[in-house]
Structure 1
Amino acid sequence: MFVAYAIVGILLALALSASATLTFTRHEAITASMSKVGVPGSWFPRLAALKAAGAVGLVVGLAVPVIGSAAAIGVVLYFIGAVITHLRAKDFEIAAPVILALLAAAALVLRVMSA
């Protein structure tokens, strides 16, 4: 199970790192999507920091199981919030946050099972 966690955790960490970087730099596609659902621009740095923290936590979780579990829980909650935000704004382009939430849930299950 540890190898499966390592693969899922690292892939998810890479995706989160890319997303955090794009959010920090206010990439047009990211800012357009976030603005479309009503996320204020002042929140972008905080949301990017949360994604970056999740990525770091998943990687640290390779050595410290409790950190990996906590990071996966945080990422699941982050993307559940993203899905809810999209749905409340009647924006049904939710594939990306749903997939990332499911990957984070898989990382959590795998991390717990491999500890």
Structure 2
Amino acid sequence: MSALYITVTLVTAFFTGSAAVFYLIGHEYPKSQADMKGIPRRYVPVLGSLLAAGTAGLLLGFAVPLLGTVAAACLVLYFTGALIAHLRVGSRNLVGWAVFFVTVVADLVTNVSYHWV
């Protein structure tokens, strides 16, 4: 297995998994972000579950490559939606979003290049 693929996937899984935990334990930061974006707080655990599912998919991708690729693509879509939510309310604080987005895109690219090219 490629060291780059393993490293990028583990870093991405760490970031998205950490975010999922914060969303699922009811930490105040995701709640304040939801409030700022006009998203009802009842969706915060749903968003955390989506992040957790994406993280699990990335890790399971080591055994089932197609699952890892699909999970990475879905996380790219998730964070594209997060960008839309930010821009919809006029938020220009996109540094955190950019870190996550670059990470999941890098994971998708390394995943596809390792398994499918």
Q: TM-score of the superposition, structure 1-length normalised?
A: 0.93
* Offset, 1:63: 1.9
* Offset, 1:2: 2.5
1:111 aligns with 2:108: no
Aligned to 2:73: 73
Gaps of 5+ in 2: none
1:20 aligns with 2:47: no
**Does the CA contact (< 8 Å) of 1:54 and 1:75 recur in 2?**
yes
Aligned length: 115
**Does the CA contact (< 8 Å) of 2:30 and 2:44 recur in 1?**
no
**Identity, % of aligned positions:** 33
* Offset, 1:101: 1.5
Separation of aligned partners in 1, 2:64 and 2:96 = 28
Dislocated runs of 4+, deviation >6 Å: none
Separation of aligned partners in 1, 2:84 and 2:39 = 12
- Per-residue CA deviations over 1:46-67 (Å, capped at 9, x if unaligned) read 1100000010011111121111
**Does the CA contact (< 8 Å) of 1:80 and 1:97 recur in 2?**
no
SS of 2:26's partner is coil
Aligned to 1:99: 99
Structure 2 counterpart of 1:81, which letter? G
Separation of aligned partners in 2, 1:85 and 1:28 = 18
Separation of aligned partners in 2, 1:32 and 1:109 = 32
Q: What is the alpha-carbon root mean square deviation over aligned residues?
A: 1.2
Structure 2 counterpart of 1:56, which letter? A
Aligned to 2:40: 40
Aligned to 2:59: 59
Aligned to 2:5: 5
* Offset, 1:93: 1.1
Structure 2 counterpart of 1:32, which letter? S
SS of 1:91's partner is coil
